[in-house]
Amino acid sequence: MTDISVRELPLFPLPDLVLFPQEVLPLHIFESRYRIMLQTVLEGDGRFGVLRWDPEKKTMAEVGCCAEVVQHHTSEDGRSYIVTIGQQRFRTLDLIRKTPFLTAMVTWIEDEEITDQEALSKLAIQVESSLRDVVGLTAKLTDSEMFLPDDLPDLPRELSFWVAAHLDGPVSDLQQLLLQSTDTKGRLQRELEMLDHTKRQLAARTALKDTFSNVDQANS
């Protein structure tokens, strides 16, 4: 019997990019091998694997995220502009072809089963609260309007993926660790620690800004 959790999947390594489930990824396809890959993908189920390529170490991650093409347009010169959305995560088992494009046998991975749903839900609420605090403090510090999306995920696993996907700065190493983790609680806990650390830094900077603002007003 064939194991339905294992399948052949075209691979698209991208430098320092980590795709998460339900995240939108637009791509410009211009290299000949990826034009061939896209044509093959569109003739099939519209899916291929996105893996992080580390340009410094010259290595490709073992765990990636399957991308599904939801929009595509090919210009007269053969270049394509596509929009994809992240689906299941996968682990690469074996590279089976390198030409005309990378292809591998992969297996899907899922988070471990949660035994204490109540504790997980409370943790997710804490993460969302800290996230809102960080956005609010950032908006105040930069004198700009910043809002979280109305459709922010409310399920713990999906929320953990959303937060990981929207981390700022050169954080692809950390994002890769969060992507390949199969522990929803552990992923949320790590994100809560990062958000709380950021929140403390922003609060201190905001307080300092307010102090200087009050001094300027008093002297004017």
Number of domains in the chain: 2
Same domain, 121 and 147: yes
Tell me whether residue 1 is in a domain. no
Asked which of 77, 109, 141 is the last residue of a domain, the reply is: 109
214 shares a domain with 122? yes
Give the residue from 91, 109, 127 where a domain finishes: 109
Q: What is the mean pLDDT of each run of 10 residues along the chain (220 residues)?
A: 75 96 97 95 96 94 98 93 97 95 97 93 96 92 86 95 91 95 97 95 82 58
Domain membership of residue 33 as a residue range: 6-109
Q: What's the pLDDT at 144? A: 85
Tell me the backbone φ, ψ of residue 166, rounded to 5 degrees.
-110, 20
pLDDT of residue 208: 76
26 located within any domain? yes
- Pair 56, 86 in one domain: yes
- Supply the pLDDT for residue 169: 78
Last residue of a domain, one of 72, 89, 109: 109
Give residue 170's pLDDT.
80
- Domain with 32 in it: what CATH number? 2.30.130.40
Q: Rounded CA gap, 142 and 160, in Å?
A: 26
How is residue 14 written in tokens? 């991208």
- Looking at residue 206, its pLDDT comes to 83
CA–CA separation, 103 and 176 (whole Å):
21
Looking at the DSSP assignment, which residues form a beta bridge with residue 92?
Answer: 106
Q: Is residue 146 part of a domain?
A: yes
